[in-house]
Copies of this chain bind each other. A is one copy, B any other.
Amino acid sequence: MKVSNGRIHRALPGPSIIPDKVLQAMQRPAPNIYGGELEEITMSILSDISKLAGSKGRVALYISNGHGVWEAALTNLFNEDDKILTISNGVFGKHWGNIASKLGIEVVHLETDTASSMLLNIEEISELKQSLNHPALLLVDSIACFGCDDMKMDEWGVDLLLTASQKGLMTPPGLGYLVIGERAEIQAKKVTKKSAYWDWGPRLDPTNFYEIYFGTAPTHLLFAQKAALEIMNEEGKDNIIKRHEILASTVWKAVDIWSQEGVLKFNVTSKENRSHAVTTLVAKNYDLLPFKNWVEKNTGVELGIGLGFEGPEYFDGNSAFRIAHMGHLNPHMLLGVLASLEMGLIAANIPFKKGGLDNAIDYLANSINSES
């Protein structure tokens, strides 16, 4: 007996849920790649990305995933033996550092926390840097929360921002972006040796259109990205950011109650440090696998795996999971997830305090009413 034969809701922190219009946009033949419509689409994408980043900087678009733009950023900005400090929340900062090491860059890694789904306070870091009068460039990987958490790149003093298509940008994976601030452009000119694929020089100042892509353009992903940005433009950046804040807070209101008893806890304790894109929950020394399996088998909801929770106290990752609340998301979808989770907690006999869902609903009802 299986009751989950409907539409699967993947509450995975990317690739995120793709709107119908975005899928629809890929339903067309390959275009001419030497200009015309594709050039217009490209220009509008680049412009939209920088606006979403809150920057007047130019944008380099790479056919790659997020790891690709990590490498692109490092390649353009650093010479061998340069030194970088990585401040990491979760596993990805360490990975970025590894890429730098392979490029011969000296890496100092600052492990703030293993706190996956934590949001670094970029503004504070930037202010600290400025108060020290330190000339370092500030690079920010916002892939996981771009288009979900607010980003005011220029105002906050960020020199280079990384993002990619498959999370808040609601597009299939395969496009990576660098938003390049003025200081980063200047620094890049001092770097003597760059691989041709990552070198953003000709991508920013192409002689021919195709140099923006250093070769063949990723035509269908561009059609999709353009459609997704049209949806985002229609909603407006402010509304998008506010919607994510409210929906993330709705999740937290549920967890606030659930975690008052039993095993389930926030991975990031302080609300101020949590991302609005994804929430990580952990049950240290408790195996959540039966719960996660029950939810996945029976409700139509798929949860994100816990990354970076190794060791027996985390049952090799099975003590943690992530709830994505990014991109194409509304109360129906999100409350369906929270209700499925509360049901799974009951069904799998996980110790928790009931009432989280009710608390979430109360909060959300009030938030909508007070905002309208």
A residues in contact (CB < 8 Å) with B: 1-10, 12, 14-21, 23-24, 26-34, 63-68, 70-71, 75, 98-99, 102-104, 164, 166, 172-174, 193-197, 199, 213-221, 224, 231, 235, 239-240, 242-243, 246-247, 298-302, 305, 328-340, 342-344, 346-347, 354, 357-358, 361-362, 364-369, 371-372
Instruction: With both chains docked as a complex, state the minimum distance between the C-beta of A328 and any C-beta of chain B, in angstroms.
Output: 5
**Could you tell me the distance between the alpha carbons of A218 and B172 in the complex, rounded to whole angstroms?**
7
Q: Check if A99 sits within 8 Å of B357, measured CB to CB.
A: no
The contact sample of 28 A-B pairs, CB cut-off 8 A, is A1-B243, A1-B368, A2-B235, A3-B243, A7-B19, A15-B216, A17-B30, A21-B28, A26-B172, A34-B305, A63-B68, A63-B174, A64-B64, A67-B196, A67-B215, A71-B195, A71-B196, A71-B197, A172-B218, A172-B219, A195-B195, A221-B221, A298-B372, A299-B331, A299-B332, A299-B335, A331-B339, A343-B361
Residues on the B chain within 8 Å of A12, using CB: 30, 32-33
Q: B102 touching A195 by the CB < 8 A rule?
A: yes
Given contacts A197-B68, A339-B335, contact A20 B5 (CB under 8 A): no
Tell me the complex Cα distance, A18–B20, Å: 12
Assembly CA distance A357 to B64 (angstroms) = 44
B332 and A340 contacting across the interface, CB-CB below 8 Å: yes
B2, B30, B71, B98: the one contacting A10 at CB < 8 Å is: B30
Given contacts A3-B364, A10-B29, A99-B195, 18 further A-B contacts (CB under 8 A): A1-B243, A3-B243, A4-B330, A4-B331, A7-B20, A18-B29, A18-B30, A20-B29, A32-B302, A65-B216, A67-B216, A71-B196, A102-B195, A173-B216, A174-B220, A335-B336, A335-B339, A358-B358
For the complex, give the distance between the alpha carbons of A71 and B71 in Å: 13
A85 and B30 CA atoms in complex are apart in Å by: 34
- In angstroms, Cα B101 to Cα A193, docked, is 10
Nearest 6 A/B pairs, CB to CB: A336-B336, A6-B330, A15-B30, A300-B330, A335-B339, A67-B215
Residues of B within 8 A of A340 (CB): 331-332, 335
Contact, CB under 8 Å: B166 / A221: no
Q: How distant is the Cα of A221 from the Cα of B30 in the complex, in angstroms?
A: 13
A104 — nearest CB in chain B belongs to which residue?
Answer: B193
A197-B357 contact given A17-B29, A32-B12, A340-B335, CB 8 Å threshold = no
Contacts of A32 in B (CB 8 A): 10, 12, 302
List B contacts of A300 (CB < 8 A).
330-333
Q: Which of A166, A235, A330 has the most CB of B within 10 A?
A: A330
Q: Out of B7, B18, B28, B339, which one reaches A361, CB within 8 Å?
A: B339
A27 to B247, CA, bound (A): 27
Q: How far is the CA of A323 from the CA of B153 in the complex (A)?
A: 45
Contact A166 B216 (CB under 8 A): yes
Residues of B within 8 A of A218 (CB): 65, 172-174
Contact B301 A332 (CB under 8 A): yes
Do residues A339 and B368 form an inter-chain contact, with CB atoms below 8 A?
A: no
